Amino acid sequence: MTLYEQLRKKHRLFIYHSYEFTEEDGSTVLRFHFSIDEHHFYPQWSFSFDMPDSCDRELVDDIAFSLGMAELVSYWKCACCPTVEVRCGTLSEWQKKWWKKLYFNGLGEFFYRNDISPDPDSFMNITAAENLPKMALYRRPDRIGNGILVPIGGGKDSVVSVELLKKHGAEIFPYIINPRSATLGCVESAGIASERLIGARRTIDRTLLELNKQGYLNGHTPFSAVVAFSAELFAAIKGLRYIALSNESSANEPYVDGTQINHQYSKSTEFERDFREYCENCFGGYTRCPEYFSLLRPWSEWQIAREFVKYPQYFGVFQSCNLGSKTDVWCGECAKCLYVYILLAAFLDDEALVKIFGCNMLEKTELSEMFDGLVLDGEDKPFECVGTRDEIRLSLEMALKKRGACAPALLKRYAGYREIGGFVIPDLSDFFDSDNFVPEEFLYLLKG
């Protein structure tokens, strides 16, 4: 019997008990309560700004409950209980199917890396009191502002969104989960007033970490779905009109050859479409709640990098390495560092890159296997937020031409593959993915 089967036999029921807002030490705290048998979890969010009387408290409550549904999968996955019982809210059959689809697809990497082959219908049964689909509850148009909440992760993508929206003259409200030097530095470099910053602290219950130490299952979850619901919550509290994500077209590509497993599922167009439908059906639509879309969806990662290098004021502060996030450094050892280095090598010289990353990553032959996963067909892509092989090959081609005979080791490795592999190098300069939800008023920023 596998560990997955043993845990499901031992722990049959996961319970979503409650969610509540409280005031503690000058902050508002949103706390959830989940349990698996004797193990209880109390993850929470805290923020220091008030909920104004003008905000739609029924809407805020609905989104808070749904944020708990997005959070619970991080705790459920440690034992993969056959049944999830929701005791603090109602779910229609449509909603149950919606959540099961998110959990199943968003846990694709988790299942793959733990050698689990679940059935999409029976891997989880969700029970809850049922309700009829809500009629849209329209609130007065003058209660919806014009501001735009922009999640800031510290990387190049959200920087590009901010700079494009500044050209539009938008009223930008940066949203940061667990602020750190890189994210705050990006906001400061953008010249956005500090009073517009929406900062929130997300705390993971340590009981989950203890269970992981004991050998319970662990792995990747659809965190961007948590970002989506939390952004919807805070934008609703602030009365903002839009939520502009920075997910690109490249996020749709599978990571494991011959499968649909995607490390970035909750950044994909499919999830964005589903999330917008959820907002329409469960939150009363975009005449009532802030509109969620990804501004950069029409672009490739290569185009985003091309735009990013126009803003050197961010070179010393941006950082998107997961391993180095706690200390705001590029670790120089992971696939994310290598990938971003390759993208920027198409546009920047080695001196500028070494100043950003602390080393020339294309000289690191110990990363050859990782490099091959990024470049070669038939290889599994590293499980990091990285773009398509077309984008990577185009960047390497440009980097190779810039450096010529002085090419570092991994660029020479690429040149060897190109000679025997017959790579077709795409022209992405005018790429535009029409499968997007960017409001018409912003599309001009991405064309031409």
Tens digit of pLDDT at every position of the chain (448 positions): 899 999 999 999 999 999 999 998 889 999 999 999 999 999 999 999 888 888 899 999 999 999 999 999 999 999 999 999 999 999 999 999 999 999 999 999 999 889 999 999 999 999 998 765 444 444 433 445 689 999 999 899 999 999 999 999 999 999 999 999 999 999 999 999 999 999 999 999 999 999 999 999 999 899 999 999 999 999 999 999 999 999 989 776 666 666 666 667 888 999 999 999 999 999 998 888 999 999 999 999 999 999 999 999 999 999 988 787 777 788 888 988 999 999 999 999 999 999 999 999 999 899 888 888 888 877 766 666 677 888 999 999 999 888 877 888 888 888 888 887 777 888 888 999 999 999 999 999 998 6
CB under 8 A, 24+ apart: contacts of 418-427: 418/393, 421/376, 423/393, 425/393, 425/394, 425/397, 426/390, 426/393, 426/394
How many angstroms separate the CA atoms of 387 and 394, rounded?
A: 12
Question: Is the same domain home to 127 and 57?
Answer: yes
Question: Is the same domain home to 246 and 335?
Answer: no
Question: Is the same domain home to 327 and 289?
Answer: no
Question: Is the same domain home to 125 and 263?
Answer: yes
Q: How many CB atoms lie within 10 A of CB 115?
A: 9
Question: Is the same domain home to 121 and 215?
Answer: yes
Helices and strands: H and E segment counts in the chain = 16, 11
User: Is 352 inside any structural domain?
Assistant: yes
Per-residue confidence (pLDDT) for residue 135, from 0 to 100: 43
Question: Is the same domain home to 128 and 14?
Answer: yes
The partner residues of 174 in beta bridges, in order of sequence, read 150
Query: Domain range holding 100?
Result: 3-139+196-294
User: Is 35 inside any structural domain?
Assistant: yes
User: Is 410 inside any structural domain?
Assistant: yes
User: Is 181 inside any structural domain?
Assistant: no
Single-letter code of the amino acid located at 350? D
Question: Is the same domain home to 130 and 270?
Answer: yes
Torsional sign, CA 33, 35, 39, 43: negative
**What are the structure tokens assigned to 115, written together?**
């050698």
CB under 8 A, 24+ apart: contacts of 265-270: 265/105, 265/106, 265/108, 265/222, 266/102, 266/106, 266/222, 266/223, 266/224, 266/225, 266/228, 267/224, 267/294, 267/385, 269/297, 269/433, 269/435, 269/436, 270/105
User: Is 445 inside any structural domain?
Assistant: no
Question: Is the same domain home to 251 and 359?
Answer: no
How many angstroms separate the CA atoms of 30 and 46, rounded?
A: 6
Question: Is the same domain home to 262 and 361?
Answer: no
Q: Where does 52-168 show beta strands of DSSP type E?
A: 83-90, 125-129, 148-151
Q: Which of 254, 279, 294 is the last residue of a domain?
A: 294
Q: Which of 294, 312, 345 is the last residue of a domain?
A: 294
User: Is 164 inside any structural domain?
Assistant: no
Q: Tell me, what DSSP letter sits at residue 132?
A: P
- Which letter, b or e, does each residue of 333-347 get, where b requires 16 or more Cβ atoms within 10 Å of its Cβ? bbbbbbbbbbbbbbb
Question: Is the same domain home to 49 and 132?
Answer: yes
CB-CB contact of 135 with 283 (8 Å): no
User: Is 263 inside any structural domain?
Assistant: yes
Single-letter code of the amino acid located at 215? G
How many angstroms separate the CA atoms of 208 and 204, rounded?
A: 8
Question: Is the same domain home to 225 and 355?
Answer: no
| Of the candidates 191, 196, 305, 291, the residue with the CA atom closest to the CA atom of residue 248 | 305
Q: Which residues, at least 6 apart from 326, have a Cβ–Cβ distance to it below 8 Å? A: 180
Per-residue confidence (pLDDT) for residue 36, from 0 to 100: 98
Q: Where does 188-253 show beta strands of DSSP type E?
A: 198-203, 242-245
Q: Which residues, at least 6 apart from 409, have a Cβ–Cβ distance to it below 8 Å? A: 362, 363, 364, 365
Per-residue confidence (pLDDT) for residue 138, from 0 to 100: 41
User: Is 167 inside any structural domain?
Assistant: no
pTM of the predicted protein model: 0.92
How many domains is the chain partitioned into structurally?
2
Question: Is the same domain home to 257 and 406?
Answer: no
